[in-house]
């Protein structure tokens, strides 16, 4: 169990929650909420595109297809643009105030308010005794609050806060309806303790482990409260309920601040916590403030540490091959916590430019906050050359502080019970001069199978399709018990050694298995010290973005780097399946048409042997 920062701070909230009338957005900014006028032309241009465009219609069949076929995309392709249109039109009308966007904005608002449920089909909790292919909440049922419901509510809350006077000129019924639906779908269910205990697993109130859902949903509930709830006592009760929930999320983090959900989920995990902290700061005029806590700072610095090179991060867990963290988020978080690492990355990535003025529906509170920023001068960023996150067990060494120069090695331990887990304990990632040598294929399209008992039928989730070993045709299994042990990290060399015996089931027949990896003197060396109970088969897998060249009995080349391996191993290469909806997009994330797996398999049964692989 980790720390509970809000509990440690012992915040006394009585009398500290600002009344609705005194609340102001972005209390730490001298001008509060004032959109940078340089954004105006782009904001208006984005909204103008919607004036002659039909708002997507979400049919019952679009919702039902998930239950029938596992397809998440059809409903998302229609529902998510509605939210984008809402914020685009509202922001443009707020800054222009000519009435050009008002009617279209009202159309979108009304369509959202008329949606039976803001919960998408993949998260629909259903009703007992019914075929749950459609939303259930069409009477007085309390509504389930999921990620999209929270997003939608926060979006509508911002529209109410920014455009209330504009909408009231047409009719006060619009804002009355917004407040009614927000209260019915969000506030009342959240205030119902029985319902929260029974349905809202993401809160952690039952003492269970939580993931990104917790700060993601909580931050949006806080946004709704801050921008629409008029009763100060209700505002206070909601904040009091939210702080222990956020602590449940924080307590799942080790002191290194590492996010076991991977860098792309960091944006809505640690990044959602930051979003919540911004709202709490504003609701209390700065009283609730954890920016000085070193763990909170390290939770942000994690995203910088796992940057590999341009548009590439360590994509362990459900992260795509192409990803870079939000530059403005890191700059703002770094400024709040005094982290030079975060600020320098953010300013370097921004490059003196303004952000894209599109406010994303997921974390709209910070999105509007970022629109107030002026241009900032770029600075030099140098990536950390060596670090070890001992909580989630990741060691990284890079040969050059410039991210597109030299060799790069990342080596992962941990366990196979992580949130958004892939069975990948002991995997490693290698880049050379910014080009991928050994990769984690990453996550592709989500379907019903992705988050079901069928998850590990998808090859990209399994250890024999990561850069791992397989023994006697037995890969790793899912579960926290399948883990690395006895991590030994050498700070001077960056070498990490892991005991990986317990990452595999008994069927693998392992007596002992240790893997180490180190980058020294422009050479990456991977040692696999294997001892099986009986002579058996050993296979090492490596995932590549192209077929190797100049293959010999003991080596191959990729991107001009030579990989050498033990002569007792037989080399083979295969193209990886991209026909499944979950894997068809994986090559595209790596700027290629095809991914490959190289396997190095023992030619004869092996009982005990040390294998050495090098990249130079």
pLDDT score for 1? 59
Between 402 and 552, the higher pLDDT residue: 552
Q: Give the integer Cα–Cα distance in Å for 171 and 360.
A: 27
Q: Give the integer Cα–Cα distance in Å for 106 and 103.
A: 5
What CATH number has the domain bearing residue 574? 2.70.98.70
Count of C-beta atoms within a 10 Å radius of residue 577 = 14
pLDDT for 317 beyond 90: no
Residue of 373, 293, 381 whose CA lies nearest to 342: 381
Query: What integer is the mean pLDDT of 53-66?
Result: 94
250: its two tokens: 């924080």
Q: Rounded mean pLDDT of the chain?
A: 95
- What does the pLDDT look like over 274-300, one tens digit per residue? 999 999 999 999 999 999 999 999 999
Residues 353 and 252 in one domain: yes
- What does the pLDDT look like over 181-200, one tens digit per residue? 999 999 999 999 998 998 89
- What does the pLDDT look like over 160-180, one tens digit per residue? 999 999 999 999 999 999 999
pLDDT score for 197? 93
pLDDT score for 445? 84
Residues 161 and 271 in one domain: no
Residues 186 and 268 in one domain: no
* Residue reference for tokens 């209260």: 183
- Phi and psi of 519, rounded to 5°? -115, 110
Highest mean pLDDT: which range of 134-143, 259-268, 541-550 = 541-550
Which H helix or E strand runs over 428? strand 428-432
SS3 content of the chain, % helix, strand, coil (to 5): 40, 20, 40
pLDDT score for 70? 86
Domain count, the chain: 3
Helix orientation angle between 102-114 and 73-96, rounded to the nearest 10 degrees: 140
Range of the domain at 397: 386-615
pLDDT for 138 beyond 80: no
Is the separation of the CB atoms in 429 and 440 below 8 Å? yes
467: its two tokens: 């850069």
Label residue 355 exposed, middle or buried (CB < 10 Å: 0-12, 13-18, 19+). Answer: middle
Sign of the torsion angle spanned by Cα atoms 201, 205, 208, 210 = positive
Residues 179 and 225 in one domain: no
Query: What integer is the mean pLDDT of 6-17?
Result: 96
Residues 516 and 568 in one domain: yes
Among 329, 355, 381, identify where a domain stops: 381
- What does the pLDDT look like over 392-427, one tens digit per residue? 999 999 999 889 999 999 999 999 999 889 999 999
Residues 217 and 298 in one domain: yes
pLDDT for 158 beyond 70: yes
Residues 279 and 327 in one domain: yes
Q: Give the integer Cα–Cα distance in Å for 421 and 503.
A: 13
Q: Give the integer Cα–Cα distance in Å for 194 and 265.
A: 30
- Beta-carbon-side half-sphere exposure of residue 500 (alpha carbons within 13 Å): 32
pLDDT score for 212? 96
Residues 107 and 2 in one domain: no
51: its two tokens: 């004036």
3-class secondary structure, 533: strand
Residues 115 and 145 in one domain: yes
Read off the pLDDT band of 444 (50, 70, 90): confident
pLDDT for 335 beyond 90: yes
Between 127 and 575, the higher pLDDT residue: 575
Q: Give the integer Cα–Cα distance in Å for 475 and 468.
A: 9
pLDDT score for 180? 97
Q: Give the integer Cα–Cα distance in Å for 155 and 384.
A: 37
Is the separation of the CB atoms in 467 and 573 below 8 Å? no
Q: Give the integer Cα–Cα distance in Å for 296 and 336.
A: 11
Residues 243 and 178 in one domain: no
pLDDT for 233 beyond 70: yes
- What does the pLDDT look like over 451-479, one tens digit per residue? 889 999 999 999 999 999 999 999 999 99
**Radius of gyration, CA atoms only, the chain:** 26
Query: What integer is the mean pLDDT of 62-86?
Result: 93
Query: What integer is the mean pLDDT of 533-538?
Result: 98
Residues 372 and 451 in one domain: no
pLDDT for 528 beyond 90: yes
Residue of 170, 167, 150 whose CA lies nearest to 212: 150
342: its two tokens: 């975060």
pLDDT score for 171? 97
Among 149, 168, 199, identify where a domain stops: 199
Q: Give the integer Cα–Cα distance in Å for 17 and 187.
A: 17
- Beta-carbon-side half-sphere exposure of residue 381 (alpha carbons within 13 Å): 27
Q: Give the integer Cα–Cα distance in Å for 437 and 435.
A: 6
Strands across the sheet containing 606-615: 485-489, 496-499, 510-520, 523-536, 606-615, 561-564, 555-558
* Percent of the chain with pLDDT strictly greater than 90: 90
Query: What integer is the mean pLDDT of 245-272?
Result: 95
pLDDT score for 515? 98
Q: Give the integer Cα–Cα distance in Å for 104 and 5.
A: 44
Residue of 212, 600, 608 whose CA lies nearest to 438: 600
* Residue reference for tokens 């509504």: 143
385: its two tokens: 């050359």
pLDDT for 60 beyond 70: yes
Residues 94 and 171 in one domain: yes
Among 143, 165, 199, identify where a domain stops: 199
Q: Give the integer Cα–Cα distance in Å for 314 and 262.
A: 8
Query: What integer is the mean pLDDT of 557-562?
Result: 97
Query: What integer is the mean pLDDT of 485-505?
Result: 97
- What does the pLDDT look like over 38-59, one tens digit per residue? 999 999 999 999 999 999 999 9
Read off the pLDDT band of 349 (50, 70, 90): very high
């Amino acid at each position: 169990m980790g720390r509970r920062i809000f509990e440690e701070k012992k915040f006394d909230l009585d009398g500290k929650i600002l009344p609705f009338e005194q609340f102001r957005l972005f209390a730490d900014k001298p001008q509060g909420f004032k959109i940078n006028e340089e954004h105006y032309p782009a904001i208006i241009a984005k909204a103008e595109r919607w004036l002659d465009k039909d708002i997507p219609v979400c049919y019952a069949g679009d919702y039902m297809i998930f239950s029938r076929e596992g397809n998440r995309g059809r409903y998302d392709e229609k529902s998510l643009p509605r939210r984008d249109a809402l914020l685009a039109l509202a922001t443009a009308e707020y800054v222009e105030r000519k009435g050009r966007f008002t009617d279209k904005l009202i159309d979108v608002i009304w369509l959202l308010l008329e949606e039976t449920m803001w919960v998408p089909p993949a998260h629909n909790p259903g009703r007992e005794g019914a075929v749950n292919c459609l939303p259930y909440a069409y009477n007085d049922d309390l509504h389930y609050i999921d990620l999209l419901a929270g997003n939608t509510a926060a979006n509508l809350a911002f529209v109410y806060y920014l455009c209330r006077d504009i909408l009231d000129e047409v009719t006060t019924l619009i804002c009355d309806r917004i407040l009614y639906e927000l209260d019915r779908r969000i506030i009342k269910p959240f205030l119902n303790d029985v319902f929260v205990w029974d349905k809202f697993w993401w809160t952690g109130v039952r003492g269970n482990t939580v993931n990104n859902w917790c700060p993601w949903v909580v931050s949006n509930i806080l946004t709704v409260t801050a921008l629409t709830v008029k009763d100060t006592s209700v505002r206070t009760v909601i904040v009091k309920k939210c702080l222990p929930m956020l602590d449940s999320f924080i307590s799942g983090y080790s002191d290194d601040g590492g996010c076991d959900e991977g860098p792309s989920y960091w944006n809505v995990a640690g990044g959602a916590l930051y979003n919540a902290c911004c709202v709490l700061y504003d609701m209390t005029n700065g009283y609730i403030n954890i920016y000085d806590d070193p763990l909170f700072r390290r939770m942000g610095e994690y995203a910088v540490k796992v940057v590999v090179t341009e548009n590439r991060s360590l994509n362990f867990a459900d992260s795509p091959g192409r990803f870079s963290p939000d530059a403005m988020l890191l700059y703002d978080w770094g400024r709040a916590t005094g982290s030079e690492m975060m600020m320098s990355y953010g300013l370097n990535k921004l490059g003196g430019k303004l952000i894209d003025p599109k406010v994303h529906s997921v974390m709209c509170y910070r999105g509007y906050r970022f629109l107030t920023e002026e241009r900032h001068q770029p600075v030099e960023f140098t990536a950390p050359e060596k670090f070890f996150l001992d909580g989630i067990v990741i060691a990284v060494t890079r040969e050059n502080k410039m991210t597109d120069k030299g060799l790069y090695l990342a080596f992962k331990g941990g366990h196979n019970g992580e949130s958004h887990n892939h069975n990948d304990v002991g995997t490693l990632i290698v880049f050379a001069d910014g080009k991928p040598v050994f990769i984690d294929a990453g996550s592709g399209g989500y379907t019903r199978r992705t988050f079901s008992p069928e998850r590990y039928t998808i090859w990209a989730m399994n250890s024999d399709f990561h850069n791992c070993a397989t023994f006697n045709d037995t890969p790793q299994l899912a579960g926290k018990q399948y883990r690395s042990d006895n991590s030994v990290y050498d700070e001077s060399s960056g070498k990490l050694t892991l005991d990986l015996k317990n990452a595999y089931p008994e069927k693998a027949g392992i007596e002992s298995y240790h893997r180490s990896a180190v980058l020294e003197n422009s050479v990456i060396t991977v040692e696999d010290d294997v001892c099986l109970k009986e002579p058996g088969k050993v296979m090492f897998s490596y995932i590549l973005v192209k077929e190797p060249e100049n293959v010999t009995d003991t080596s191959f080349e990729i991107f001009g780097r030579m990989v050498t391996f033990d002569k007792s191993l037989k080399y083979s290469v295969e193209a990886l399946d991209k026909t499944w909806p979950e894997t068809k997009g994986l090559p595209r994330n790596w700027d290629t048409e095809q991914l490959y797996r190289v396997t190095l398999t023992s030619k004869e049964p092996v009982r005990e042997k040390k294998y050495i692989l090098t990249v130079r």
